[in-house]
A and B are shown apart, each in its own frame.
Chain A
């Protein structure tokens, strides 16, 4: 039967690229000298799968290349090869190379042959090219002998043969496909019935096989039981058999085999099997061919590339399935009601419609959540990048990734990738000093670059921090004057000076290196972030390091929210900004100038924000001791929010107020709750600023 292999390509590419990621992170985690066996094994398995798949699906270039990697990894796994810095470097390069090859194969495009050859040569050099021997063996196997009339085969299986799943009858059947056979059974070893072990074989066979059959063909039949049987072959030197085995002989061969059936065979007689089986199989194959032809046509119409896909966690899919289930229930309830609509049932019908609306909305939100991916997708390239860069620049750098699980919309993720790369590069290249320089300044040799992502005040914040030399304000200022960006007599705040590095055509690196510092980029970075509706900010202290803060809007993001009640309204506080919630101890309240209230919490004074005042609501009570205080932390510090009650916690999908209404101070967005009402999400940073301003005004 012919199977259209191209239908499996997409799966193969998906799993191969995933395998490459596994290999890369595994290799990066390998400690040279004391490599973890399980990590090597994982990397090996990934290479092994790619090799097996590419060979099966006919991607020879990929298979050949992966074979080299696999061999190297296999030696590491066996412990016959040390894990050296050099070999890990080559394996990492090979991962890049493989990525290139797979992408080329997937898009039916060309690949960078020089690069592939270079890595290949490197791998072969590492392996000392001991491939030749296995090849010559294979060549030998391929040799076939000349014309033969037939063979006499003595087949004496080991008594335990059945326990390996091999069956002498099947083997003899197999032989019968090669030519005409005559079989005699040797029962000498058969013991008395009382001594007979039903699971063992006591028989052996003498088989005469007629036909032009090569020794290899016979060996192939017995290939699997080489060690489990005594098999002697001798060439048949009798009268020459002219005719080749023909189709009709098949049947007679089976008939000859029949008497072979011995009493201790634990299985049912197989006599009829070959004949009866061949008919249905053939017809099934016929049937199976039809739809296959269709799918082939369909598959060939589709172009191989551009099948962008996202990997979605099972939880999210389960949630969707759940919702669809509820939708079906609601729908059936409605259609039942629809059959008998009377005045009395109209209310029920409305309820049902409301439920339908809610289900649909939830479904919509869940589908949108599928687009949310943890930011680790954007972060995962950095360990490799920082490693390569620090090798190249002769620096020692530790990369720390925090908040990798923070979710981000896929579109935002794709657009933020390149700017992040640029910023991390800058930190490594310009920020972190050489080990010698660091030691001279009393810092540890190893520099640190930290990437941190978190949700804050309706934004996603990504911080890139390094403990390098920081930004020299004077140098920037001088440079900006020199480039004509500003006038020499302008007086700028620190922030304004740092902002200059985002000006087009601005580069401060004394020597423009290959890594960064060409002065294109920082302005592009800023533009990209602006396009996403975000902003970028630089903080730096000379000699101590710099932090670059990117804030991106969370229009589509999901947030873990704490629902609170003020009067009749429900608000949501992002869970991440809540520190604790307490009942108010009246004695801890101080007020300044009769206006601004401060709450004393463990020796700290926090401003109290009465939400009902901020939003002009009618609360249950204006007495602080009747409600609760939620201690929150925003960018501008901590504050205590006075609320009537805490409700539940839930994940909410953030809807932008800007696009649906207009920006409101102290509110970062809105969401729709399970019961269909709208709840506003508090912007903690904004609220704290708001309360500070109003108290300043009051003062």
Chain B
């Protein structure tokens, strides 16, 4: 069981991600934008952060940059949820310190397979 932070401004995506991960036995916390995610991340510890890129208040790229700067999140895997059209965004995420990405749309199975890659 891993502790996972799921960040997305879309409630349906957040529900889907969270439901899938919880179904696989993970402990999931949700945040609806980068600002909230940062606050939640500082009050807790996580084994993995999954974040959308396009969000109000603070986007996913800035969130990853902020998190990477925190000692507790130096080595923590962080994956961005991006769309295929966002090749540029993928690299932007990488440069900010993202571990990798999951391309939207993804199925629950793809999500689980991908996070297995970073949760060991």
Given A8-B15, A52-B105, A165–B78 Cβ distance below 8 Å? yes
Quick check: B97 and A56 within 8 Å, CB to CB? no
Residues of B contacting A11 with CB < 8 Å? Answer: 11-12, 15
Residues of chain A from 408 to 433 with CB closer than 8 A to chain B in the complex? none
| Contact (Cβ within 8 A) A163 B97 | yes
| CB-based contact A166/B24 at 8 Å | no
* In the complex, B39 has a CB within 8 A of chain A: no
- The answer, yes or no, to whether A361 is at the interface (CB within 8 Å) is no
Residue of B nearest to A53 (CB): B12
Bound-complex Cα distance A51 to B85 (A): 11
* Pairwise interchain contact A15-B76, C-beta atoms closer than 8 A: no
Q: How far is the CA of A274 from the CA of B120 in the complex (A)?
A: 7
Contacting pair B76 A169 (CB below 8 A): no
Q: How does the 8 Å CB contact mask read for B36-77 relative to A, with 1 for contact and 0 for none?
A: 000000000000000010111000000000001000001111
Given A12-B12, A285-B24, decide whether A227 and B94 contact each other with a Cβ distance below 8 A.
yes
Contact indicator per residue, chain A 524-539, by CB within 8 Å of chain B (1) or not (0): 0000000000000000
What count of chain A residues pass the 8 Å CB interface test? Answer: 57
Q: Which of A92-100, A265-273, A302-310 contacts B (4 or more CB under 8 A)?
A: A265-273
- The residues in A between 249 and 303 inclusive whose CB is less than 8 angstroms from any CB of B are 266-267, 270, 273-274, 277, 280-281, 284-285, 288, 292
Q: Tell me, in angstroms, the Cα distance from A164 to B52 when the chains sit together.
A: 17
Q: B74, A52: Cβ atoms under 8 Å?
A: no
| In the complex, residue of chain B having the shortest beta-carbon distance to the beta carbon of A177 | B116
How long is the Cα–Cα vector from A162 to B74 in the complex, in angstroms? 8
Taking a contact as CB atoms under 8 Å apart, the answer to whether A52 and B104 are in contact is: yes
- A106 interface residue, CB < 8 Å from B? no
User: Among the listed A166, A174, A224, which residue makes an inter-chain contact with B101, where contact means beta carbons less than 8 Å apart?
Assistant: A224
Contact pick for A56, options B23, B78, B94, B106, CB 8 Å = B106
Which residue of A is nearest B109, CB measured? Answer: A1
B85 touches A67 (CB 8 A): yes
Q: Are B104 and A285 in contact (CB under 8 A)?
A: no
A49 touches B120 (CB 8 A): no
8 A Cβ contacts from A48-92 to B = 48-49, 51-53, 55-57, 63, 67, 70-71, 74
Closest partner residue, chain A, to B52 (CB atom): A52
The residue on B at minimum CB distance from A63 is B105
A151 to B11 CA separation, bound complex (whole angstroms): 43
Confirm or deny: A109 has a beta carbon within 8 angstroms of a beta carbon on chain B. no
Q: Bound complex: CA of A173 vs CA of B20, how far in Å? A: 23
Q: Is the CB of A52 within 8 A of B10?
A: yes
Which residues in A have their C-beta under 8 angstroms from that of B105? 52, 55-56, 63
Does A600 reach chain B (CB closer than 8 Å)? no
**A164 close to B108 (CB less than 8 A):** no
Map CB proximity to A onto B98-120 as digits: 1 under 8 Å, 0 otherwise: 11110011111100100001101
Contacts of A227 in B (CB 8 A): 94
Tell me the bound Cα distance from A163 to B65 in angstroms: 12
How many inter-chain contacts with C-beta < 8 Å in the A-B complex? 134
CB distance from B55 to the nearest CB of A (A): 7
Q: Please report the C-alpha to C-alpha distance between residue A267 and residue B75 in the assembled complex, in whole angstroms.
A: 9
B120 touches A273 (CB 8 A): yes
Q: Which residue of B lies closest to A224 (CB)?
A: B100
Give A118-160 as 1s and 0s: 1 = Cβ < 8 Å from B's Cβ atoms. Answer: 0000000000000000100010000000000000000000000
Q: Report chain B residues within 8 Å CB of A162.
A: 75
Residues from chain B with a CB closer than 8 A to the CB of A165 are 75-78, 97-100, 118
Taking a contact as CB atoms under 8 Å apart, the answer to whether A280 and B1 are in contact is yes
Q: Quick check: A56 and B104 within 8 Å, CB to CB?
A: yes
Which residue of A is nearest B17, CB measured? A56
Which partner residue on chain B sits nearest A284 by CB separation? B25
**Chain B nearest Cβ from A280, distance in angstroms:** 7
Is the CB of A45 closer than 8 A to any CB of chain B? Answer: yes
Q: Can you name the residue of chain B whose Cβ is closest to the Cβ of A44?
A: B54
For residue A5, CB closer than 8 A to chain B, the reply is yes
What CA separation (Å) do A57 and B20 show in the bound complex? Answer: 13
Q: Is the CB of B55 within 8 A of A45?
A: yes
Min CB–CB distance B24 → chain A (angstroms): 6
CB B31 to nearest CB in A, in angstroms, measures 15
Which residues of chain A are within 8 angstroms of B85 by Cβ–Cβ distance? 67, 70-71, 74, 134
Beta-carbon contact of B108 and A1 below 8 Å? yes
B13 near A52: Cβ-Cβ < 8 Å: yes
* A interface list, Cβ under 8 A from B: 1-3, 5, 7-9, 11-12, 14-15, 42, 44-45, 48-49, 51-53, 55-57, 63, 67, 70-71, 74, 134, 138, 162-167, 169-170, 173-174, 199, 221, 223-225, 227, 266-267, 270, 273-274, 277, 280-281, 284-285, 288, 292
* 17 additional contacts (CB under 8 A) given A49-B13, A56-B12: A1-B112, A2-B108, A5-B108, A14-B11, A56-B13, A56-B16, A56-B105, A63-B105, A134-B85, A163-B75, A165-B100, A167-B77, A167-B118, A170-B120, A225-B100, A288-B22, A288-B24
Pick 21 A–B contacts, CB within 8 A, sort by A.
A2-B109, A3-B20, A8-B12, A8-B19, A11-B15, A15-B10, A45-B56, A49-B9, A52-B10, A56-B104, A67-B85, A163-B75, A165-B78, A170-B117, A174-B117, A223-B100, A277-B120, A281-B24, A281-B25, A284-B23, A288-B24
B-side interface residues toward A, CB under 8 Å? 1, 9-13, 15-16, 19-20, 22-25, 52, 54-56, 68, 74-78, 81, 83-85, 94, 97-101, 104-109, 112, 117-118, 120
Closest 10 CB pairs of A and B: A224-B100, A165-B99, A55-B105, A284-B25, A12-B12, A165-B77, A3-B108, A56-B105, A11-B12, A49-B10
